[in-house]
Chains A and B, each alone.
Chain A
Amino acid sequence: MSRLNAHEKKTVTFKLNGLPVRADAESRMLLSDFIRHEIGLTGTHVGCEHGVCGACTIQVDGAPARACLMLAVQAEGADIRTVEALSPGEGRLSTLQAAFKRHHGLQCGFCTPGILMSLDALISARPDAGRDEVRDHLSGHLCRCTGYVTIVEAALSALDEIRREVKSNV
């Protein structure tokens, strides 16, 4: 059994966007704060901090999850991806990100990183997904600017494009 006393720090190690990271955390440190303050990646946004708004959504071992509902110490050994992993290179957008830009899928952008991580997981797991699955994944996110319509259109457009790419590679 491993024991970490209150106010004591432990080195937490996991894979973040393909690279190993390590930093110290108290037991009570949330994974969202660990990623932002200890690692320094601020793309993961913190909204409600009780699992309702979805702004802090990241991928843990391939599945979308709320970073504010995990302790950093629970992430030991996990494979984690944040919004910073999406861009294929400096100054370039992924298919999904480009579709958001094209369809005006964001205004203030605060909720966008979390939504992108949920939809990216959906696209990887189920490239055949349609409107219902997209809306189901979006139900775990709050956006107060767009009214969601343009986000759904962006996701469907990205799914379409990705299916065409896969087809043309066959």
Chain B
Amino acid sequence: MKPAAFDYLQAATLDEALDALHEAGGDARVIAGGQSLVPMLNMRLARPAVLVDIMRIEALQKIERSGGDILIGAGVRQAKLEAWPDLVDRLPLVAMALPWLGHVQTRARGTVCGSLAHADPSAELPLSLIALRGSVHLRTKRKKRTVSAEDFFLGMMATDLAEGEMIEAVSFPARADGTGYGFNEIGRRHGDFAITAVAAVMTEHSASIAIAGVDDRPRRFDVPLPGNSGLDDALNEIAWDLNARDDIHASARYRRELVRRLGRRTIEEAAACLA
């Protein structure tokens, strides 16, 4: 399996990358770590005429605080975020999710924003971003805009990215005092795509869960607190609301059961980390 031919542009600055994307229009794709795009190129599921490599752009390599958010540039590899000394303190949910994301060998190259752009419905980083109600910073040659995670993921490998547009950075809201987090995943083997993954965020007065691997995109729901008798009913309604489908890995029924059980367990773990 070999990729179809393409022009390869290595941008030294963000402006160069944006110019190149503008010029090539819909025929161009951004390549960052390449861990999702190169398999698609090798299988010729993607045949872009132009690839714009953004990994030599210094300005995209940053992890920084911005107000209550942690801003992660489009060139930041997953392994770099994993090794960031403040990760567990500032982004505990992401710290829980990262070890589940692919393997050591793919996290060494793959980027945080690349996983968002790929938008696999079972992927852990889109799930974390939805759970934390983060946002994605997009940019074309002419304009910048910020889109909430809820509006960014549109469906199976489909996002709100427009022609000529690229992700410049992502904002993950940092841990707030009095907030607990939980994360669980069931897959065939560790590192495989999740059959179902669940993230939970809890405060004293509120609870929410986000679910990946069931619907065509990660989705977030407010739920009753775990002490409340209504939680199981709410989880059951969510399970039916998610358009679970049968595939080679699991039946729709099994996925609904995972939403109920893994949902409750993850919320309880978030509550325990709150206590």
Contact = CB atoms under 8 A, between A and B. Distances in A.
Contacts of A19: none
Interface residues of A, number: 34
A54 interface: yes
B250 interface: no
A66 B16 contact: no
- Chain B interface: which size bin? 35 or more
B186 to A, nearest CB: 15
B9 A1 contact: yes
A78 to B, nearest CB: 11
B199 to A, nearest CB: 21
Contacts of A33: 2
B108 A6 contact: no
A51 B39 contact: yes
B174 interface: no
B38 A27 contact: no
B109 A70 contact: yes
Contact of B51 (A2, A27, A65, A68): A27
Interface stretch (A84-92, A95-103, A132-140, A153-161): A132-140
A54 B106 CA distance: 10
Interface stretch (A56-64, A105-113, A162-170): A56-64
Nearest to B17: A1
Nearest to A3: B9
Interface string B229-247: 0000000000000000000
Interface string A64-84: 111011110110000000000
B4 interface: yes
B10 A28 contact: no
Nearest to A33: B2
Nearest to A54: B105
B109 A60 contact: yes
A51 B53 contact: no
Contacts of A54: 103, 105
Interface string B1-35: 11111111111100010001000000000010011
Given A50-B43, A69-B109, A118-B105, A139 B9 contact: no
Interface string A105-135: 0000000000000100010000000000000
Contacts of A73: 8, 10
B12 A69 contact: no
A30 interface: yes
A92 to B, nearest CB: 27
Given A7-B5, A69-B38, A2 B10 contact: yes
A149 to B, nearest CB: 16
Contacts of A6: 5-7, 49
Contacts of B105: 54, 57, 64-66, 118, 140
B104 interface: yes
Given A51-B35, A74-B55, A68 B42 contact: yes
Given A60-B108, A139-B190, A1 B10 contact: yes
Contacts of B34: 69-71, 74
B23 to A, nearest CB: 11
Contact of A4 (B1, B7, B16, B79): B7
Contacts of A136: 99, 104, 190
B3 A65 contact: no
Interface string A1-31: 1111111000000000000000000111010
Top 9 A-B residue pairs of the complex, sorted by shortest distance between their CB atoms: A140-B103, A27-B8, A6-B5, A63-B108, A50-B39, A140-B105, A1-B16, A69-B38, A28-B3
Given A1-B20, A69-B38, 13 more contacts: A2-B10, A4-B7, A6-B7, A7-B5, A27-B5, A27-B7, A30-B2, A49-B1, A49-B42, A51-B35, A51-B106, A140-B102, A140-B104
13 contacts: A1-B11, A1-B20, A3-B7, A3-B8, A5-B7, A6-B49, A28-B2, A28-B6, A49-B42, A54-B103, A64-B105, A136-B104, A137-B104
